[in-house]
Structure 1
Amino acid sequence: MRRTKRRYGPIVLLALMCMLIGEAGCTSGPATKASPGPGATKGGLPPGAPTGNGDETVATVGGESITRGQLVDQLLANYGPQTLRTLMLRIAVEKEAEAKGISITDEEVEQELRRMSEGYDSEEQFYASMREQLGMDRDEVRRDAKYRLQLEQLATLQVEVPEEEIERYIKEHPDEFGPRTELRLSHIVAAKRSDAEQIVHRLEEGEDFEELAREKSTDEFTSENGGDMGWVDADDPLTDAALLKAAVALDVGQTAGPVRTASGYEIVKLTGRNTEAGMDAEAAKREARRQLALDKAVPMADLEQSLLEKYGAQISDPSLKS
């Protein structure tokens, strides 16, 4: 299923810069009347942002201080043009959505957040990942989701999708709209079949699967976590088909193998199974139309540039021009 590409880098930098620069650097000019984007309030600052001056020491090393001003100058030099463009886009998209009468409901935002969190074990893990990797709290993630939905609706506003195309798309992509089964898998990978058979024997003798994975598995990406592969779709194209076939037939807690795969010989354990009901007819039509409309729509980068031009975006500081 096609997704709008999410460019989190400028968003995170925008919030970081606003926090570092302080109130004087993020609230000047008429831009404060619009919603500048994730991490900013009506006044332009993220909640709890400090307002220290540029001489404030933010770090020391070898007895030398690094000031807030030095840090801000470096951030502006490295990322200023990109981050400023993100801020201007937030304003332009907000204005255009208002002009076109586009209103994003809480339900639409929640649905988009559910889409974004697919592949995570839980909603809590998704938000924890956004916070740890990107520095975005729940409100910032929600604001970005709303912005993306506004941009999508602006892009597809004039796109016509015939009913027969929608019906055909649904028939040709049953995996996107029908019932979906996810499997939580763990595995132990061995280079030789004899090694794998020895591991199977030790499991039959009652040894712990996770401990054996840490000790014996040649997969360095999962061995430290006891072989845990996380949740995968039952028909995930990125997971070895033979391994999935063996796992689907298991009950939770059971193991199978050795299974010959591209990685060697694997013993797989099913640690969880989750089956979600498919979309109802109307929801499937809405989602199919959305995907088809996005395929036909003007590229997002072109739309963003046209909105900046429409609303007369100008950069006054030459050092912040790309």
Structure 2
Amino acid sequence: MGRKQLWMVIAALILVNCLTIAFFLSKANPAGGAVLDEEAVATIGKETILRQDWLNELESRYGKDVLKEMVDQKVIEEMAAKYKIKVSSQDVDREFRMLQSTTTSFNKQNINNEEKWKEQIRSNLLLEELLTKDVKVSTKELESYYQKNEDLFNVPSAYHLSHIVVSTLEEANKALQELDQGSDFSTLAMERSIEEFSANEGGDIGYISEGDERYPSQYIETAQGLKKGSYSLPIKVDEGYAILKLEGKINGKKYSFSNVKEQIRRQIALEQMKSPASATTFWDDAKVEWFYGQEGN
């Protein structure tokens, strides 16, 4: 599994985890279960959708996937303990740093879930270690891989930005004046920005780094001159004018061969595997039995 594939899996698993929390919180029924079951969660004219109908639909759509994810997490933990496999906090931090710098959707919402991201990264690294625990790769092959793929281990500086995009310089100057008078950048972006996707997120566009083709090169140049929490003067863009706010920054870092030696070993081993990397491989070893039968797939 490649690095980008791993990060896509991590993002998907984070979503599943969020669904898990939402689903089981909604299942919680502290008082008067029968009353809550008959509670209407939506009305359409004279028709209603009952709470229990909604929960049943959630379970039918997501129940198996959510339960499998929960089982997989427990399996990984048990197998890691059985085979005395651990991953260091440095490895988790490195993967998280790379994830922040290269994932286009890494915005405020994801940043606020940093611990959950790191938990999922740790779990995925443990799974990789479990799957490749018996694989030996020569130092020569590891060094060759590093030399050929050195750019993969060179994390560029990345800037977490929000922006307000308006059509005219006059509108931009008016927005800038409101910011100077204490208006909230996020609120103003939702009200004024014509870039609808980011406007819905309070102008948040996540992390971008040099060479990012989604945004004008002026974004990086401008961000380099900002302090965290400050905003820029209006800059000319294709849609009109933009005001940038620097939410945060990750300084670039080049990882040495010794830093990523084990990561490369896992990567080479995983690329040689014929089957997808999955915790299901260890279900028999962990003696898993579950609601949907004996198979994890």
**Both proteins in one fold, TM over 0.5:** yes
| 1:219 partner amino acid | E
SS in 2 for 1:102: coil
Q: In percent, how many aligned pairs have the same letter? A: 19
CA contact (8 A) 2:280 2:296 kept: no
Matches within 5 A, 1:54-69: 55=34, 57=36, 60-61=39-40
SS in 2 for 1:158: coil
TM-score by length of 1: 0.58
**How many corresponding residue pairs?**
271
Compute the displacement of 1:153 (Å).
0.8
TM-score by length of 2: 0.61
Instruction: Give, in whole Å, the separation in 1 of the partners of 2:23 and 2:190.
Output: 42
Give the alignment's Cα RMSD to 1 decimal. 4.8
Structure with more contact order per residue of length (Cα contacts < 8 Å, sep ≥ 6): 2
| 1:247 partner amino acid | T
**Structure 2 CA distance for partners of 1:9 and 1:93, relative to 1, 3 Å:** same
CA contact (8 A) 2:209 2:220 kept: no
Compute the displacement of 1:243 (Å).
3.5
1:258 aligns to 2:236 (yes or no):
yes
List alignment gaps of at least 5 residues for structure 2: 180-184
Please name the residue that 1:86 is paired with. 69
Please name the residue that 1:183 is paired with. 159
Compute the displacement of 1:283 (Å).
1.0
Matches within 5 A, 1:7-18: 7-12=13-18, 14=20
Instruction: Give, in whole Å, the separation in 2 of the partners of 1:290 and 1:189.
Output: 44
SS in 2 for 1:147: helix
Instruction: Give, in whole Å, the separation in 1 of the partners of 2:20 and 2:202.
Output: 38
Pick the aligned partner of 1:232 from 208, 213, 225.
208
Instruction: Give, in whole Å, the separation in 1 of the partners of 2:56 and 2:201.
Output: 41
Pick the aligned partner of 2:112 from 114, 128, 135.
128
Please name the residue that 1:29 is paired with. none
Compute the displacement of 1:290 (Å).
4.0
| 1:128 partner amino acid | N
Instruction: Give, in whole Å, the separation in 1 of the partners of 2:21 and 2:94.
Output: 24
List alignment gaps of at least 5 residues for structure 1: 22-48, 131-137
Greater C-alpha radius of gyration:
1
Please name the residue that 1:279 is paired with. 255
Deviation sequence 1:175-221 (CA, Å, 0-9, x none) = 44336322344555466xxx45x667x48xx7457699778753123
